[in-house]
Structure 1
């Protein structure tokens, strides 16, 4: 994990700074009080304070999701995030610690490179797309799923990954983050505000009303909550102010196994009888068409 990322991590036990236990070998991170955290051979570090009540996606779910995303079905989301990230970062004040000639950080100074954090990052595909559009940024994927983090740690050369629960205190320093991404994931307004720089931005992706509407009708899936926007605002209100909200759409052409994966990525997987869902999917005529429709909202610290 790059030093520019480690410098902005914090101990989940005491909130102290973290550094490699052995100089030049970041296999174990340790704080001044002696709390230590091993970096797994897959590249992520476990910074969970205690046990999380949930473990996230299983290895099979992550593999299916990775294949689905690799097919480009949600590239409309990655592209929209990358565009919004470039725009948001261009408006932010650039840290004074960067050398104007080389773009490199001053010795021993954290924060010269903008940090992009994705909370609930999954495999890290969206984070990787944003980093590809921001050549001077580093990234950190946060998730509670170890199988997902094994992939996220390798999603991009400038990305790191850490096991963390969005509902707990995030293992990051105050005002350490330039951009925070949140795609179909829980939102912790207070913590998001704490870790974002005053000139930072929070990019939130949520389903629009017509998202996957064809599958909702054919498979009796859960519909998008009509009060979704109000709930998002409620979770962020007092900490952030909305800057703008755009809707992005795309048409998908899917096989039945891809439909099964897509359904498994959403809340209906937990609220519908699996056998009945499988039977309905088996009855679909291929190819299956569906609409992707999402809100991408930009929020600024209040």
Structure 2
């Protein structure tokens, strides 16, 4: 079974860098084609791809075996003679009937908690926000350090994208506010946290509505973003945002490259059209972080 998984990973690697399409399912081919098309639209090319697969759990139920495994992809892209490395880690589940592989797909995760649609804006603050200056380089440094691991000083969530982005923002000097009201401000303390710290939709509304401490100014295009800024994603286009990323670099076209958690990603192109969560109805919000200078 492990050998079957590793061969499947190798088949995908060959498909990313060449025209080999044998033994791949339609869903995998669609994702590969979208990633190639995304690179082409940016005048870029995937010149090399490598991947490592690791089985992390195995369970048998009746005559079916469930293997959870992790794949770490590395894509070397050439854009106008500039090379950069994009990395993505997928957690996948393969299902075998006997020794036959009958299903293999990325594990989709759901946020563990909801929040009040109307967040409170006023009240006491847990830290002094006067003179807040956002250190973008420190936020990016933290994003690079922890893109594929988890800082033990913070709680880890199954859907960790907003928790990770919040940690990056705090590393950049953004002050926590609103403790201990979970519907107010933006904070994490001990084993408690605000909705805006950990829930994608809540952070999106906090950034646009906060009047002090961590706050954002919405801009109309990704080109306007700077390092350390935030992109919010509504994959279904239904008005509820379900993913956040942090800008860590710009490509040759001045477009953002982002880091993220849940599907851990580094230097990924901001559009996410190569994601299994992508739909044609996707909507984005672009926030540049505002400080007191």
**Which has more strand, going by share of residues?**
2
TM-score normalised by structure 1 residue count? 0.25
TM-score normalised by structure 2 residue count? 0.26
